[in-house]
Amino acid sequence: MDVDLLINAAWVIPVIPEQTAWQDYSVVVQDGRILDTLPTAEANKKYQPRQSQNLPDHIVTAGLVNTHTHAAMNLLRGYADDLPLMTWLQEYIWPTEQKWVSNEFVHDGVLLACAEMLRGGTTCFADMYFFPESTARAVEQAGMRASIGLISIDFPSAYAQDANEYIQKGLKLHDQLRGHPLIKTMFAPHGPYTVSDEPLTQIATFAEELDIPIHIHLHETDDEIAQSQQQYKMRPIERLEKLGLITPRLVSAHMTHLTDDEIQRYAAAGAHVVHCPESNLKLASGFCPLQKLVKAGVNVAIGTDGVASNNDLDMFGEMRTAALLAKGVSLDAQAGDAPSILKMATLNGAKALGLDEQIGSLEINKSADLIAIEINNIESQPMYEPISHLVYSSNRQQVSDVWVAGRQLLKDRELLTLDINDLISSANQWRQKIKP
């Protein structure tokens, strides 16, 4: 049978079935989708590929899903380090954004982020930032997959003057992107402390009508909770419950300060959590109770947050940190096991974004969003368990090849849709403007 692409690998980790690694296996791609997965010896007899790629020293698995980013903030990498969240936001980030954020800033920052993510094995990301139209334009240029947040905040910015204008612009962009093969939208109210009741209620209604997710920062710090108790006489989760937002549509980033009762109510509602361990650690925001959330049945994904608070978009680093932190926080060495963490970085992220029927695992008929990780190096020897190896030993510099919907975007570490020299030049120009 003639097919578009045959990828032969030393190992294939499909994510589903869980805890599965196939040795000397192949992935067959036709029309941008996975047609088959089978032993390489059988694949070479059954299929006649128009293109083949032999990866005898590699693991092939599903592309990583970075479920919480502010991609344009790549232009603020390291701008204001070693500060608590509210000081970081109010005294540094927000004033800088007010001065510099524009269509051009967002487009250039997102291109820089896409290049970093592709080189690190991320094929899909969820974004929350101003000028989402420019984010969409950059994502198209890169050839990536994204769920772009329709940002809403009570404060005026260069993008919009009030909550109603944010929402109306978001609705317009949603209509423009309807049916796009790689880009989806979601509402993205910034957080309970920056969005008032009326726009949150409107967003809940529109999200239901349009059948799209809602992405929000929630229970990130003690200060956020204290503000809510002072202003609304209740904790943020309770407020969102009363406003009708705690539903299977909700994707909440951080969630570092939770009571056991809140975890149970959140799980019962079917809402999702995005764990951002390195950003939480760097901003001293607290510890997400990962193991409690998992035991309660909450779908937990992994995100990096933006590089202004991380300072990278490295999902391999995030997986390892998430696994180790889960063990330390729970005092349970079996918490955050490698297969579960890999699933959080792939299929769980896809599920949170409503994309699990398309991506997140190497199942037949799913989109061919694939990555290859080279393991024939001294730092990877010997290898006993491929899944554990990915989570605990591998790093993003080992990602050699990336495909999105069957289209190759990274080959032998070289980007095929973006020019690295142009991106570095652009980043340097922005640095000189922002902080001469």
Q: How far apart are CA 39 and CA 28, in angstroms?
A: 11
Cβ proximity of 89 and 117 under 8 Å:
no
Q: How far apart are CA 235 and CA 357, in angstroms?
A: 34
Give how far Cα 436 sits from Cα of 311, 350, 430, Å: 20, 40, 9
Q: How far apart are CA 298 and CA 263, in angstroms?
A: 8
pLDDT of residue 225: 96
pLDDT of residue 89: 86
Tokens of 280: 């939480």
Closest CA to 129 of 121, 79, 108: 108
Could you tell me the sign of the dihedral formed by the alpha carbons of 67, 69, 72, 76, in that order? negative
pLDDT of residue 252: 98
Q: Which domains does the chain have, with CATH numbers?
A: 2-62+363-405 (2.30.40.10), 64-352 (3.20.20.140)
Residue 186 Ramachandran class (φ > 0 left, ψ -120 to 50 alpha, else beta): beta
List of the chain residues with pLDDT < 50: none
Q: Is the peptide bond before 382 cis (omega within 30 degrees of 0)?
A: yes
Cβ proximity of 344 and 62 under 8 Å:
no
Beta-sheet pairing, 407-411 with 399-404: antiparallel
**Residues across the chain:** 436
pLDDT in tens, 114-173: 999 999 999 999 999 999 999 999 999 999 999 999 999 999 999 999 999 999 999 999
End-to-end CA distance of the chain: 60
Q: How far apart are CA 298 and CA 291, in angstroms?
A: 10
Tokens of 50: 């128009």
Tokens of 322: 């998430």
pLDDT in tens, 365-417: 999 999 999 999 999 999 999 999 999 999 999 999 999 999 999 999 999 99
Cβ proximity of 256 and 220 under 8 Å:
yes
Cβ proximity of 188 and 152 under 8 Å:
yes
pLDDT of residue 51: 97
Task: Give the contacts of 393 (CB within 8 A, at least 6 positions apart).
Answer: 379, 380, 383
